[in-house]
Amino acid sequence: MPCTWDPVTLGRTGLRVCPLGLASSYGVSGADVERAVERGVNYLYWGSLRKADFGRAVARIARRRREEVVVVVQTYTRIAALMRPSLERALRQLGLDHADLLLLGWWNRPPSPRVRDAALALQAAGRARHIMVSGHHRPTFPTLARDPALGAIMVRYNAAHPGAEEEIFPHLAEPRPGVVAYTATRWGTLLDPRLTPPGEATPRGSDCYRFVLGNPSVDVVLAGPKDGQELDEALAALDRGPLGPDEQAWMRRVGRAVRAARMAGQARSPVQALGRLVRILRR
């Protein structure tokens, strides 16, 4: 279980990474990013919402210790010709000459040949060391994993959405790609006491990260703290170590209830809500 401060290998990329990664989108300050790196966090994700202070911190860190950090740059482009200018702009903002991982974002089917070729051209030019892909459609990932050009994948996985345990993780081709998990707190709903079942404790953020890292198929869990307090709670996941069997069972009970409550709330009528709730709880 990689729920420790010991670095792990990110699948077939060979990159050595801390099991906890930081995302740029939620507001954590540049000073806190630097503090996290001092603690050993080295996976830095320049994602969809690019906060300027996060980017400045990456630039400062890279000037001192570029070889120690793994920087991920995401692109959502579906137009192959736009990929290079997108990556080049991000690299200028970060003061870097290359990204360690170029993330092709939100592909629920394998990227088109032209997009794939554009990414490989950037890799060949030395502007990205490895290519990774994210998506929401779990059945697509085993197909992606068979492409030797893809070094890593980024998947949704948490106690309320554990489907990757059956649909993705057992089906990854060897040598397997690196696996990065996102939405560990299910956008905060796993931390909401209003959704916690009666008689159960409400999880902390670190419990959610510990749950994800308890799966041996996961190399990195991505955290998106908005401030120093949330960062400290994320870092606590590695200090606290792996969940025990009783804690694992508790997180799964809470996760099922949270998913049932949220999906029931999306139903169009009370009858639909009740039916959906019963179906979910039977799974």
- pLDDT of 59-89, one tens digit each? 999 999 999 999 999 999 999 999 999 999 9
Q: What is the pTM of this model?
A: 0.91
- Please provide the average confidence, as pLDDT, over all residues in the chain: 92
Domain map (residue ranges) of the chain: 8-243
Strands in 95-165 per DSSP E: 99-104, 128-134, 150-156
pLDDT of residue 2: 77
Tens of pLDDT, residues 122-181:
999 999 999 999 999 999 999 999 999 999 999 999 999 999 999 999 999 899 999 999
* pLDDT band for position 266 (cuts 50, 70, 90): low
Beta-strand pair 220-223/20-23? parallel
Residue 25 has pLDDT above 90, yes or no: no
List, in sequence order, the alpha helices (H) in the chain: 30-39, 52-65, 83-94, 113-124, 141-145, 164-167, 205-213, 228-240, 245-265, 270-282
**Does the structural domain 8-243 have CATH classification 3.40.50.620?**
no
Torsion of CA 144, 139, 218, 93, to 10 degrees: 60
* pLDDT band for position 50 (cuts 50, 70, 90): confident
